[in-house]
Chains A and B, each alone.
Chain A
Amino acid sequence: MKTFRIGGVHPNDSKISRNCAIEVLPLPQTVYISMAQHLGAPAKPVVAVGDRVKTGQVIAEPGGFISAFVHSSVTGTVKSIGPRKDLAGNNMTHVEILVEPDEWAEGIDLSDTLVTEIPSDRQFILDRIKNNGVVGLGGATFPAHVKLNPPPGKTAECLILNGAECEPYLTSDNRIMIEQSSRIIIGAAIMKQVLGGCRTVIGIEENKPEAIKAMSDALAELGKCGAAYSGIEVMVLKKKYPQGGEKQLIDAVMGRQVKSMGLPIDVGAVVQNVATSLAVYDAVQKNMPLITNTMTVTGNCLPADRQHNYLFRIGFPLSFVAEQAGGVPQEVSKIISGGPMMGKAVANLDACTVKGSSSLLYMTAEQTVRKQETNCIRCAKCADACPMGLEPFLLNKLARNGMYDALEENGVHDCIECGCCLYTCPANIPLLDTIRLAKGDVIKIIRSRAPKK
């Protein structure tokens, strides 16, 4: 079984909600759609207060080259456009829409039929992906059309579909791979076509046997539909965090390591999440904009019948999602949007779902409160765990003293912020807190120096 070569940790995978089928969330009375649902420049609203919008209609245009369209997830009247606090409590422009019954924008195919025939026009596919606001749903929300359009001179040798879902607790990818396997594979075939028919690997961690079976079965079925589906394979990966990290996944699947400060395409790889593949299918085959995604509501403090996987639309207040799931239990002291290793702690439950939302994870104080920091005992467990082969103990020390030259020399800018070092540290030293800051500073220094050379 394949895996990445350096470091990694083995947290308990806690996939409690793995068997909960995806349920569709009802609509709230008001949605607030954020203009920053993707990496890069925030989108610019193109609607005005008082406008009536239909479901799937464009409400914001890209604000730069690396940016994305945003569509209305509901039908209704725009009540306001202005700052509202996101889940970190910072102000971001949101479009507030009063919800009415759905009335879909023109040109969207709402039928259930599976479209297996893949358009041959590359530009048509890319335009559809771009115009439907598809972004990477693996966490970084990088605009998908940019990634699928490698710069001249670089060719993709392998498209890797990321179904590792190595973060504990999260099960939304698992569920869509079980329930929507054919659509994911068609999405993969579309991306494969765009990239010039390269090898395509769907990487799934071994702890999801149902997903592996469903995807393999669907692949065998679709294999009969034509040549577009040949050269796609399902690869079972070892359960080890961070198997789903982009660089780690490329290492596991292709045995190649992306150079420091390099991009996956440098080693001929393009990585897309399985949820992105699903969005690509919808966008290309159905002209459906990205306004829905799947999220997990889970936690050890919830009973088995209150674990959920939901299909949500963008702009739902998190508090509404929590209410639909039966409210937040009394003992919860931290809510995480995303996985427990890399997710963001929710500071503001009135924040709204965005394209990349993947979970509401409830944690009790006992599970999550950090313990008192003690002396470093130089056990080197952080260095053993680091999947980038860095020395977190050293970087932490250098970062606290602001020694940027040494930090750069020791590769702080290679850090992927996976959290393995802090997870494993027996002395509870907040390694990643200091390293993350130093990484930002050092990358700024490197960038400021680049044009001079």
Chain B
Amino acid sequence: MTTTIIWTIAILTVLGGLLAVILFLVAKRFKVEEDPRIDEVEKVMPGANCGGCGFAGCRAFAQSCVEAGNLDSNFCPVGGNDTMKKVAEVLGLEVKEKAPMTAVVRCNGSCENRPVINDYDGLKSCRVKAALYSGDTGCPFGCLGCGDCVAACQFGALSMDTGTGLPVVDQDKCTACGACVKACPKAVIELRNKGPRNMRVFVSCVNKDKGAVARKACKAACIGCGKCAKVCTHEAITVENNVAYIDFTKCKLCKKCVAECPTGAIHAVNFPVIKPKPAPTAAPAATPAPAPVAEPVKKEE
């Protein structure tokens, strides 16, 4: 009995030792030589592995940064400038600051503005719906409302507003990784400058139909009238294919276009309230609203 126990212990100990030696040798023999800085860079990365930078994951990004020797073409949208500064520190490189971005839903086709004219009865997926037809409203360009963007967001920054049927971006959570932009088959979502104190002005419509057609399909559609472009003193607005676009690098947030737009398709969000208004819906000053797109400043016509 005792001998059995002793033998067991002895054999297992020897076996364990032997295997440890083998493992040690194998690890030594097959060690992959990597630049140790890759590990260091990876440590300062957010670790979301979202792919927003265009690489397969944070490690691939780190590897690219180390190999490229400069940070001109690499940017981590999730970590933003802070992370890039840390990366630059680790590698002893220069980094240019980039303005923080956020996802913006450029569709104002809520159930109220854009009546549903047929019923969709397939898989609840924007891609399937887009491949089938123009959508259940008269607007063939706008949001399809099946929430592919919500499913694509890894950060929980998108949600569907059941009232409007449109996705809402939580800009505190949004990292501008661009997954929703890729997921949207209608290219409704755009990454835009976050703006000073989150204030920004954008055209909340991508309808390329002619004015009358667009207006018929959606009350809040951009009709391509060009009034905003005329009133803009910074040449930030272009009208192409019957739809206006505001270049956020040129926009000075003067909001003249917002006042000019006949359909209220141009949204200004997170601006402090200047005049007291009867409507209590205006966004509070300076603090970022949780649902900026859902609260357009429409009353300013």
Question: Interface residues, chain A, CB within 8 Å of chain B?
Answer: 83, 85, 88-91, 333, 345, 347, 368-370, 430, 433-434, 436-437, 440
The reply to whether B135 and A89 form a contact with Cβ atoms under 8 Å apart is yes
Residues of B within 8 A of A88 (CB): 132-134
The reply to whether A85 and B134 form a contact with Cβ atoms under 8 Å apart is yes
Residues of A within 8 A of B138 (CB): 89
Tell me the minimal C-beta distance from B265 to chain A in angstroms.
20
Give Cα A347 to B120, complex, Å: 9
Q: For B127, give the chain A residue with the smallest CB separation.
A: A437
**A347 and B128 contact, Cβ closer than 8 Å, known pairs A85-B140, A89-B140, A433-B122:** no
28 inter-chain pairs at a CB distance below 8 angstroms, sorted by A residue, are A83-B209, A85-B134, A88-B132, A88-B133, A89-B133, A89-B134, A89-B138, A90-B134, A90-B140, A91-B140, A91-B209, A333-B119, A345-B132, A345-B133, A347-B118, A368-B121, A370-B121, A370-B122, A430-B122, A430-B128, A433-B123, A433-B128, A434-B123, A434-B125, A434-B128, A436-B128, A436-B131, A440-B131
Residues of B in contact, count (CB < 8 Å): 16
**A90 and B133 contact, Cβ closer than 8 Å, known pairs A85-B140, A433-B128, A437-B127:** yes
Tell me the minimal C-beta distance from B212 to chain A in angstroms.
12
Residues of A within 8 A of B125 (CB): 433-434, 437
Give Cα A369 to B121, complex, Å: 7
Give Cα A89 to B141, complex, Å: 11
Q: For A434, give the chain B residue with the smallest CB separation.
A: B123
Q: Which of A90, A347, A370, A430 has the most CB of B within 10 A?
A: A347
Give Cα A113 to B131, complex, Å: 46
The reply to whether B121 and A347 form a contact with Cβ atoms under 8 Å apart is no
Residues of A within 8 A of B209 (CB): 83, 91
Within 8 A of A (CB), among B135-174: 135, 138, 140
Q: Which of A85, A433, A434 has the most CB of B within 10 A?
A: A433
Give Cα A430 to B146, complex, Å: 15
Within 8 A of A (CB), among B207-226: 209
Give Cα A105 to B264, complex, Å: 51
Give Cα A83 to B213, complex, Å: 11
The reply to whether B134 and A347 form a contact with Cβ atoms under 8 Å apart is yes
Known: A83-B209, A433-B128, A436-B131. 14 other contacts (CB 8 A): A88-B132, A88-B133, A88-B134, A89-B135, A90-B133, A91-B140, A333-B119, A345-B132, A345-B133, A347-B118, A433-B123, A433-B125, A437-B125, A437-B131
Give Cα A434 to B125, complex, Å: 9
Q: For B129, give the chain A residue with the smallest CB separation.
A: A433
Please list the 3 inter-chain residue pairs (A to B) with the smallest Cβ-Cβ separation, ordered nearest first: A89-B134, A88-B133, A433-B123
Give Cα A90 to B131, complex, Å: 11
Give Cα A434 to B132, complex, Å: 12
Residues of B within 8 A of A85 (CB): 134, 140
Tell me the minimal C-beta distance from A416 to chain B in angstroms.
16
Q: For A440, give the chain B residue with the smallest CB separation.
A: B131
Residues of A within 8 A of B140 (CB): 85, 89-91
Give Cα A370 to B134, complex, Å: 20
Main secondary structure of the interface of A (DSSP, over half): mixed
Tell me the minimal C-beta distance from A132 to chain B in angstroms.
31
Residues of B within 8 A of A368 (CB): 121
Tell me the minimal C-beta distance from A420 to chain B in angstroms.
17
Give Cα A413 to B121, complex, Å: 25
Tell me the minimal C-beta distance from A366 to chain B in angstroms.
13
Residues of B within 8 A of A437 (CB): 125, 127-128, 131
Give Cα A440 to B185, complex, Å: 14
Give Cα A88 to B138, complex, Å: 11
Give Cα A437 to B123, complex, Å: 11
Give Cα A347 to B121, complex, Å: 12
Q: Which of B131, B133, B134, B140 has the most CB of A within 10 A?
A: B133
Residues of A within 8 A of B119 (CB): 333
Q: For B128, give the chain A residue with the smallest CB separation.
A: A433
Q: For A436, give the chain B residue with the smallest CB separation.
A: B131
Tell me the minimal C-beta distance from B51 to chain A in angstroms.
13
Residues of B within 8 A of A90 (CB): 133-134, 140
Q: Which of A88, A89, A90 has the most CB of B within 10 A?
A: A89
**A430 and B134 contact, Cβ closer than 8 Å, known pairs A347-B118, A437-B128:** no
Residues of B within 8 A of A440 (CB): 131
Residues of B within 8 A of A83 (CB): 209
The reply to whether B133 and A347 form a contact with Cβ atoms under 8 Å apart is yes
Q: For A429, give the chain B residue with the smallest CB separation.
A: B123
Give Cα A437 to B121, complex, Å: 16
Residues of B within 8 A of A436 (CB): 128, 131
Q: For B121, give the chain A residue with the smallest CB separation.
A: A370
Tell me the minimal C-beta distance from B122 to chain A in angstroms.
5
Residues of A within 8 A of B118 (CB): 347
Q: For B133, give the chain A residue with the smallest CB separation.
A: A88
Tell me the minimal C-beta distance from B121 to chain A in angstroms.
5
Residues of A within 8 A of B127 (CB): 437
Give Cα A13 to B207, complex, Å: 42
Q: For B122, give the chain A residue with the smallest CB separation.
A: A433
Give Cα A296 to B209, complex, Å: 33
Q: Which of B122, B123, B125, B131 has the most CB of A within 10 A?
A: B123
Tell me the minimal C-beta distance from B127 to chain A in angstroms.
6
Q: For B135, give the chain A residue with the smallest CB separation.
A: A89
Residues of B within 8 A of A91 (CB): 140, 209
Tell me the minimal C-beta distance from A81 to chain B in angstroms.
14
Q: For B131, give the chain A residue with the smallest CB separation.
A: A437
Tell me the minimal C-beta distance from B52 to chain A in angstroms.
17
Residues of B within 8 A of A347 (CB): 118, 133-134
Residues of B within 8 A of A369 (CB): 121
Give Cα A345 to B118, complex, Å: 11
Give Cα A270 to B134, complex, Å: 34
Q: For A368, give the chain B residue with the smallest CB separation.
A: B121
Residues of A within 8 A of B132 (CB): 88, 345
Tell me the minimal C-beta distance from B210 to chain A in angstroms.
8
Give Cα A390 to B22, complex, Å: 47
Give Cα A448 to B178, complex, Å: 24
Tell me the minimal C-beta distance from A38 to chain B in angstroms.
19
Residues of A within 8 A of B122 (CB): 370, 430, 433
Residues of B within 8 A of A333 (CB): 119
Tell me the minimal C-beta distance from A336 to chain B in angstroms.
12
Give Cα A347 to B144, complex, Å: 15
